[in-house]
Chains A and B, each alone.
Chain A
Amino acid sequence: EAQVTQNPRYLITVTGKKLTVTCSQNMNHEYMSWYRQDPGLGLRQIYYSMNVEVTDKGDVPEGYKVSRKEKRNFPLILESPSPNQTSLYFCASSFSPFGAYGYTFGSGTRLTVV
């Protein structure tokens, strides 16, 4: 089944403790991206990647890092999480950055930072 897999689905952590949210796709998509969803602010793009070793900032990149060492994986790294990074996170992938044939989203990761 074609899908984007995120892990974990739920995570509660403490301020300052480094964490990684994993994202993997099995569709051979070139493009991958991370979004966060917050009440009243909607979904906002954090980072995106055009291909292996090519990443760039989205609208809200502060406090996050990403890497794209393999085509299928695009992990989101929070080096020192803070409570304002409590959010619902989504990973997405597509054949192209413009969404040719559509973007496929993962099931989401609900992160709470205390």
Chain B
Amino acid sequence: GIQVEQSPPDLILQEGANSTLRCNFSDSVNNLQWFHQNPWGQLINLFYIPSGTKQNGRLSATTVATERYSLLYISSSQTTDSGVYFCAVNSGGSNYKLTFGKGTLLTVNP
């Protein structure tokens, strides 16, 4: 099946810093989503981005489907950005699920 690798596994920032999270995937995808899992365990959908670039406030994402990677940018980080960020993909065919990466644990210190 498709492999999803995220980097870095852990990231510690001071409030106000910028960061870039990376997601590499091993096959072509129909769907790529970025999620934020908050400390209460909720999975918050950040972006649906199988290709191209999107922005939402301080967050933006870019997927280069031909090169099989996606980037999530967080600018001017806040303590509320802390949590685990997951990249998840669907590769189509007979694959009827999202395959998740292992996540990046982000800690933003005040």
B31 touches A105 (CB 8 A): no
B interface, size bucket = 20 to 34
A48 touches B43 (CB 8 A): no
Residues of A contacting B76 with CB < 8 Å? none
- When chains A and B are docked, how far (Å) is the Cα of A50 from the Cα of B97? 11
In the complex, which residue of chain A has the Cβ closest to the Cβ of B97?
A45
B45 touches A98 (CB 8 A): no
A interface, size bucket = 20 to 34
21 intermolecular pairs with C-beta atoms under 8 Å apart: A42-B100, A42-B102, A45-B97, A45-B98, A48-B96, A50-B96, A59-B97, A90-B43, A97-B96, A97-B97, A98-B30, A98-B90, A98-B95, A102-B31, A102-B33, A103-B31, A103-B45, A103-B98, A105-B35, A108-B43, A110-B41
